[in-house]
Amino acid sequence: MPDSTHSPNAGNSPDPGDIGSEAPTFSLSSLDGQRIDLERICQSQNVLLWFSRGFQCNFCRSHMMEFIGGYDQVKQVGAELIQVAPNLSSSAQRFFGSDIPPFPFVCDPDKRLYAVYGLGDRGALDAAKNAVVTLATSIKTGEIGTTARGVYLDVANRNFFRRLHHHAATAVEHGLFLIDRGRIIQHKTVVGPIDPIPQIEEMMSIIRERCLA
């Protein structure tokens, strides 16, 4: 089955991705080979849908480690966490090897699903600023080797120029959406590429308040 996305509210209000709207569906392959179908998952679980900057971003890797540490808590309240990344699946497989995240990690290199959920590109100026901050932070935290390896793996392929443009000239927003079992968006946070998103404890409180009350 080919990867697919579908916006149910196109042309209507509220817009797809807004709180209170029906979450756009998608069906994408995860790194472990499973088919991740939002509509099917929402039949039995609430969903935390995280649009990240990808494995080459040291800020997102930090968020990823926190989500890995709190994943059992997410599962205990009947929810699933899905990470979306604008990477090529083949590059992500090479980066993680056998050490893939315990939650579904799906790739959207053309950022179509990002657009469907209302996440935009803040442009080349933000991209340049983000690159400087990412480099400085990676050096300070000792993550420069991992960051450089991530960028190399994401760029060094037959889509070289397209992937280079993604890193050098785009600053895609990242966000976190809470989707209930009726596939309604109950919470969203959309921020700049290197801005913080809610930590796991805050999201657990939001899940309990919006989906379990």
C-alpha span between 195 and 208 (Å, rounded): 25
The answer to whether residue 87 sits within a structural domain is: yes
Is 38:209 a contact under the CB 8 Å cutoff? no
- DSSP reduced 3-state for 79: strand
Domain ranges, residue 8:
4-120+174-208
Query: Mean of the per-residue pLDDT values for the chain?
Result: 85
Number of domains in the chain: 1
Q: Which residue has the higher pLDDT, 114 or 129?
A: 114
Specify whether the CB–CB gap between 167 and 135 falls below 8 A.
no
Determine, yes or no, domain membership for 96.
Answer: yes
What is the layout of strands, in order, in the sheet containing 105-107?
105-107, 79-85, 46-51, 174-179, 185-191
Task: Work out the pLDDT band at 71, boundaries 50, 70, 90.
Answer: very high
Q: What is the CATH number of the domain that holds 197?
A: 3.40.30.10
Cβ atoms of 23 and 179 closer than 8 Å: yes
pLDDT, residue 211, reads: 92
Tens of pLDDT along 103-112? Answer: 999 999 989 9
Q: How confident is the model at residue 3 (pLDDT cuts 50, 70, 90)?
A: low
Give pLDDT, residue 22.
Answer: 96
Omega into 101 within 30° of 0, i.e. cis? no
Q: Is the pLDDT of residue 8 over 60?
A: no
| pLDDT value, residue 164 | 57
C-beta neighbour count of 195 within 10 angstroms: 12
Residue 69 lies in a domain: yes
pTM: 0.84
Residue 79 contacts residue 96 (beta carbons within 8 Å): no
| Sequence-ordered alpha helix ranges (H) in the chain | 38-41, 58-76, 89-96, 112-116, 124-141, 144-155, 160-169, 200-211
Determine the average pLDDT of the residues in 66-84: 96
- Length of the chain, please? 213
In a domain, 159, yes or no: no
pLDDT at 100 over 80: yes
Up-side HSE of residue 164: CA atoms within 13 Å toward CB?
6
Task: Tell me the C-alpha to C-alpha distance, in Å, between residue 72 and each of 51, 63, 66.
Answer: 20, 15, 11
**Residue of 79, 47, 36 lying closest to 188 (CA atoms):** 47
